[in-house]
C-alpha cells in the first residue's frame, strides 16, 4: 500500500560523502513527482532527493557503487539473516529481478553480518538471490541512511532520486511491480486527513451494532462513517500498512511458561518485561520475545486475557478480550494507526487500535475493550516482588532472534517513522509519559516530572481523585536491555485514591507510602499494610508508559503535569 504524506521526523545522519545533513526521515511507501525536474538534485534520504552514493563489495568480492546503476530503477534493500520479514521477501525480489532483466537493479545490503554467516545462510535458501548482495560489516551505511525498521528499501528512479521508501516487507510480487511503476510515474503525494475529537464514555456492543452513519460511537467522540459498506470511525487512509501481512508478525497462541530461575539463563535483571498478576497468577512477558510477536492470547485459570506490545510506541497493554459476553482471540493486522499496533479480532476481522483498545474499522467500529493494569518493569524488580512468577518461554514454536533488537537505533532518539495525526513539541517525542483520560479530560504525567516531585502526585482529573506514585526501590539508572538507553526504569502506577467515600492524600516518608488522614502504611501496589485501612486496596487505573508522540497523537488536547 502507498503512503503519500510526509512526516516531520528530522534525524541527523552522516552522508556518505562525509558531510552532515539534517534530513527528513521518510516512512513506508511514499511517492513524489519526477516529471520535469532539474538535474541538480540535493543529496539526502528525503523523497525527491538523490540518495547518497556508496561504494561496497559484494559477497563475491566485486566492488560496486550506487552510481553504477544510474539509468535504471534501483531497489536499495537493507536486510539481515536474523530478520524473518527480510528473508520472506527475498523470493519475490528475485522474481522481480528476473522479470525486469536489466531495467531494474536490486541491491541487497546486509547489516553487519559476517561473510561466513551470510554464505552459510544463503546456501540453505531454496531460491538464492542472483541480484548483488553487498557487505556493510560495520553497519555504517544503514546508520547514515537512518535505517531503523527491517527490512527497509529505498526505491530510486533512473536519475537516482528517491521516489519511494518501503518500511517492512514487500508482501508479494505485485507490490514490487507497483513500486517499479511508481518510480516511473511518481504521482504527487496526498495529504493525510487529521481529526481531533474529545473523549466520551465507552459504548456497549448493542449501541455499536445499532448505530447508523453519523451517530457518535467512538470513545473520543468519533462518528460512525460508512464507506463502500465498511463501517469505520477514523478516515480509512489513516490506517496504514506497516509492512508485514496479517499475522506476518505471528501472535503467540499457546504460550509456554518457565520459572524465574530458568528465565535467569537468558534474561538480565535490567531487561524489561511486562508483569501482571491476574486471577491469582503472576506472569512476566519479556520484551525480547514480545517485540517479535506483539500479541499473546493467554489464559489465566480459564479466563482469557489479551497481552499486547507495540515496540514503535513502547506500549504494553492488557485487555479482557470479549465481544459482548463472548471471548475472542486477536491477531496482528500488519497495519498501523498513529504509528501504533492495529489488531484484528478473529470473530469479525474488525481492526482495533492498541492504545485506545477500540475498534476503528469493521463491524464493531466504536466498541472498546476493557483494559487490565499491567506493569512495564525491569526483570530484576519484578522477580523480587513475585519470586514465584511464571515467565513466557522462548519456546514459542517460531524461529526468531530472541534477545536481538530488530528496531536497532530506534530507541536512541528521533521521532516516529510512521505518520501520526498530531505532532506536539511540548515534550521530546520519545520521552516517557503515563496518560489518563477521564470524563473527556486527558492528562499526561511524564515519568521524569513525577520523579522530580519525589515520586508522588495527588491529583484530580474530571471526577476522579488520582494517586500517581513511583516505588523508590524501582528507580534506577537505565542500563542494558531493550530501549534502555532512553527508556527509564521508573515504575509508575496510578490509583483512585478514594476509600470508603473518603479521598486520601498520600506522602512518601523514608521510602514508605502513607496516607495523611489515618497514617496507614500502603504498599506501592496499592494495598494497606497497617493502620485503620489495613487489608484494603486502592482501585488501580490501567495506564502504560508510552512515548509522548503516541499519547499526544491520540489525545491532542491533553494537559501535561508539570513538576513546578
Burial (CB count <10 Å: 0-12, 13-18, 19+), residue 39: exposed
pLDDT tens, position by position, 395-409: 999 999 999 888 877
Return the half-sphere exposure (C-beta side, CA atoms, 13 A cut-off) of residue 191.
3
Q: Report d(CA 414, CA 29) in Å as an integer.
A: 20
* Residue-level pLDDT at 7: 29
Answer whether CATH 2.102.10 is correct for domain 428-560.
yes
* Residue-level pLDDT at 474: 75
* Residue-level pLDDT at 43: 81
CB–CB of 62/201 below 8 Å? Answer: no
Q: Spell out the domain ranges in the chain.
A: 10-185, 205-392, 428-560
Compute the CA torsion angle 407, 409, 410, 412 (nearest 10 deg). 140
> Sign of dihedral through CA atoms 64, 68, 72, 78?
positive
* Residue-level pLDDT at 490: 80
The CATH code of the domain at 10-185 is 3.40.30.10
Cis check for the bond before 421: say yes or no (omega within 30 of 0): no
Q: pLDDT (tens digit, 0 to 9) for every residue of the chain, 564 residues total?
A: 333 233 233 222 222 222 222 223 333 333 333 333 434 567 888 888 889 888 899 998 999 999 899 889 999 999 998 888 898 899 999 999 999 988 899 999 999 888 888 888 888 776 678 999 999 988 888 888 888 888 999 999 988 999 998 988 888 999 999 999 988 874 333 222 222 233 334 567 888 888 889 888 877 778 899 999 999 999 999 999 988 899 999 999 999 999 999 999 999 998 999 999 999 999 999 999 999 999 999 999 999 999 999 999 999 999 999 998 899 999 999 999 999 999 999 999 999 999 999 999 999 999 999 999 999 999 999 999 999 999 999 999 999 999 988 887 788 777 898 999 899 999 999 999 999 998 889 999 999 999 999 999 999 998 899 999 998 887 655 444 444 444 556 889 999 999 988 999 999 999 999 999 999 999 999 999 999 999 999 999 999 999 999 999 999 999 999 987
3-state secondary structure 382-422: HHHHCCCCEEECCCCCCCCCCCCCCCCCHHHCCCCCCCCCC
DSSP string, 82-148: T-HHHHHHHHHHHHHHHHHGGGEEEEEEEES--HHHHHHHHHT-SS---S-EEEETT-HHHHHTT--
* Residue-level pLDDT at 148: 80
Could you tell me the CA-to-CA distances from 313 to 137, 337, 431, 553 in Å, in that order? 29, 11, 11, 11
- CB count within 10 Å of CB 65 equals 11
* Residue-level pLDDT at 98: 92
* Residue-level pLDDT at 38: 38
Least Cα distance to 540 among 446, 436, 444 occurs for 436
* Residue-level pLDDT at 82: 87
* Residue-level pLDDT at 488: 59
Least Cα distance to 400 among 68, 83, 92 occurs for 83
Amino acid at each position: 500500500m502507498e503512503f503519500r504524506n510526509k512526516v516531520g521526523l528530522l534525524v541527523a545522519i552522516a552522508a556518505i560523502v562525509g558531510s552532515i545533513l539534517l534530513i527528513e526521515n521518510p516512512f513506508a511507501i511514499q511517492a513524489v513527482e519526477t516529471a520535469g525536474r532539474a538535474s541538480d538534485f540535493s543529496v539526502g534520504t528525503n523523497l525527491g532527493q538523490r540518495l547518497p552514493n556508496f561504494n561496497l563489495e559484494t559477497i563475491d568480492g566485486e566492488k560496486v557503487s550506487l552510481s553504477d546503476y544510474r539509468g535504471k530503477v534501483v531497489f536499495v534493500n537493507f536486510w539481515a539473516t536474523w530478520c524473518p520479514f527480510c528473508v520472506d521477501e527475498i523470493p519475490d525480489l528475485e522474481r522481480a529481478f528476473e522479470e525486469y532483466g536489466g531495467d531494474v537493479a536490486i541491491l541487497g545490503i546486509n547489516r553487519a553480518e559476517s561473510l561466513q554467516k551470510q554464505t552459510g545462510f544463503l546456501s540453505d535458501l531454496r531460491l538464492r538471490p542472483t541480484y548483488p548482495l553487498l557487505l556493510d560489516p560495520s553497519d555504517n551505511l544503514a546508520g547514515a541512511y537512518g535505517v531503523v525498521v527491517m527490512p527497509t528499501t529505498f526505491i530510486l528512479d533512473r536519475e537516482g532520486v528517491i521516489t519511494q521508501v518501503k518500511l517492512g516487507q514487500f508482501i508479494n510480487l505485485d507490490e514490487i511491480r507497483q513500486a517499479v511503476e511508481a518510480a516511473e510515474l511518481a504521482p504527487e503525494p496526498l495529504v493525510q486527513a487529521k481529526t481531533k475529537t474529545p473523549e466520551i464514555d465507552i459504548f456497549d456492543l448493542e449501541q455499536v451494532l445499532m448505530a447508523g452513519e453519523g451517530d457518535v460511537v467512538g470513545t473520543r467522540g468519533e462518528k460512525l462513517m460508512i464507506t463502500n459498506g465498511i463501517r469505520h470511525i477514523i478516515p480509512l487512509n489513516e490506517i496504514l500498512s506497516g509492512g508485514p501481512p496479517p499475522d506476518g508478525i505471528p501472535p503467540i497462541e499457546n504460550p509456554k511458561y518457565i520459572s524465574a530461575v530458568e528465565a535467569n539463563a537468558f534474561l538480565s535483571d535490567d531487561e524489561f518485561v511486562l508483569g501482571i498478576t491476574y486471577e491469582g497468577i503472576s506472569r512476566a512477558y519479556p520484551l525480547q520475545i514480545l517485540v517479535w510477536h506483539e500479541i499473546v492470547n493467554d489464559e489465566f485459570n480459564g479466563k482469557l486475557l489479551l497481552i499486547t506490545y507495540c515496540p514503535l510506541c513502547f506500549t504494553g497493554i492488557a485487555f479482557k478480550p470479549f465481544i459482548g459476553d463472548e471471548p475472542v482471540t486477536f491477531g496482528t493486522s500488519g497495519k498501523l494507526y498513529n504509528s501504533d499496533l492495529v489488531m484484528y479480532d478473529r470473530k469479525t476481522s474488525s481492526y482495533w487500535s492498541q492504545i485506545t483498545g477500540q475498534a476503528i474499522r469493521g463491524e464493531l467500529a466504536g466498541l472498546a475493550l476493557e483494559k487490565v493494569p499491567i506493569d512495564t518493569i525491569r526483570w530484576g524488580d519484578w522477580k523480587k516482588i513475585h519470586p514465584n512468577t511464571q515467565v513466557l518461554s522462548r519456546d514459542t514454536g517460531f524461529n526468531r532472534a530472541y534477545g536481538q533488537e530488530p528496531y536497532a537505533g530506534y530507541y536512541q532518539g528521533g521521532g516516529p517513522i510512521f505518520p501520526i495525526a498530531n505532532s506536539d513539541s511540548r515534550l521530546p517525542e520519545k520521552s516517557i509519559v503515563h496518560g489518563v483520560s477521564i470524563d473527556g479530560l486527558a492528562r499526561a504525567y511524564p515519568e521524569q516530572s513525577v520523579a522530580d516531585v519525589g515520586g508522588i502526585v495527588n491529583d484530580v482529573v474530571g471526577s476522579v481523585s488520582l494517586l500517581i506514585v513511583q516505588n523508590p526501590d524501582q528507580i534506577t539508572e537505565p542500563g542494558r536491555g531493550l530501549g534502555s538507553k532512553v527508556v527509564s526504569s521508573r515504575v509508575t502506577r496510578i490509583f483512585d485514591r478514594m476509600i470508603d467515600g473518603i479521598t486520601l492524600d498520600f506522602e512518601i516518608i523514608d521510602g514508605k507510602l502513607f496516607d495523611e488522614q489515618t497514617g496507614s502504611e500502603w504498599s506501592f501496589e496499592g494495598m494497606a499494610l497497617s493502620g485503620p485501612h489495613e487489608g484494603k486496596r486502592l482501585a488501580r487505573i490501567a495506564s502504560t508508559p508510552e512515548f509522548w508522540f503516541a499519547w499526544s497523537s491520540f489525545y491532542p488536547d491533553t494537559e501535561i503535569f508539570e513538576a513546578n
